């Protein structure tokens, strides 16, 4: 049986409950140790106000992962990490202990009831695009920035 070819995927990380910095660092460490994750690079951590939600400011980052896992299998990994961190989904855009979103999966486009890639709202969110641009500048179109000027994002650590 042949080996599945590896794909470069991008994962958005965010948290605004508990200790968000520790949550993101813990999630990155767990991802790096996950079978099927061949390599991982992470952006700096950024702080941003909630978008379309209330609550404390978020700490956000983006991770670049190289993996032979399928997009649904990678999503399973991300959701298991969220559950382990105590993620609850009481309502849309609720404050969270950990949020992991599959943003991009290679050049793939996926539309299913469970998963949409590219992430459908990533182009509307500076807290995603600023750390994504740090890792993959060619993935972020300069024309997108003008529409996001009202979303402050600051490098945190």
138 located within any domain: yes
**Is residue 149 situated within a structural domain?**
yes
8 A C-beta contact, residue 40 and residue 74: no
Domain-located, residue 2: no
Q: Residue 91's pLDDT is what?
A: 55
CATH number at residue 117: 3.30.70.560
Closest to 58 (Cα-Cα) out of 11, 7, 21, 33? 21
pLDDT value, residue 1 = 44
Known catalytic residues are 87, 96, 99, 101
pLDDT tens per residue, range 26-81: 999 999 999 999 999 999 999 998 877 778 899 999 999 999 999 999 999 999 99
pLDDT at 86: 77
Q: How confident is the model at residue 94 (pLDDT cuts 50, 70, 90)?
A: low
Host domain of residue 60? 7-155
One DSSP character per residue, 62-81 reads EEEEEESS-HHHHHHHHHHH
In a domain, 112, yes or no: yes
Total structural domains within the chain = 1
Whether 1 is in a domain gets the answer no
Residue 35's alpha-carbon distances to 8, 74, 126, 157, in angstroms, are 15, 11, 31, 28
Please state the rounded mean pLDDT for residues 88-117: 84
Instruction: Provide mean pLDDT across the span 85-100.
Output: 73
Q: Does pTM surpass 0.85?
A: yes
- Mean pLDDT for 85-113 is 82
Q: CA 114, CA 102: separation in Å to the nearest integer?
A: 11
% of the chain exceeding 70 in pLDDT: 93
Largest CA distance in the chain: 51
pLDDT for 9 beyond 90: yes
């Amino acid at each position: 049986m042949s080996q599945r070819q590896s794909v470069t995927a991008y994962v958005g990380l965010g948290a605004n409950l508990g200790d968000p910095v520790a949550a993101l660092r813990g999630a990155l460490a767990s991802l790096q140790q996950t079978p099927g994750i061949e390599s991982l690079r992470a952006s700096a951590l950024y702080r941003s106000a909630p978008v379309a939600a209330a609550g404390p400011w978020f700490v956000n980052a983006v991770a670049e992962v190289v993996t032979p896992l399928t997009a649904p299998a990678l999503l399973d990994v991300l959701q298991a990490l969220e559950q382990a961190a105590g993620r609850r989904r009481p309502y849309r855009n609720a404050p969270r202990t950990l949020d992991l979103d599959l943003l991009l999966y290679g050049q793939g486009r996926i539309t299913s009831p469970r998963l949409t890639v590219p992430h459908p709202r990533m182009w509307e969110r500076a807290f995603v695009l600023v750390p994504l641009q740090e890792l993959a500048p060619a993935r972020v179109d300069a024309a997108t920035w003008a529409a996001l000027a009202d979303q402050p994002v600051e490098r945190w650590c």
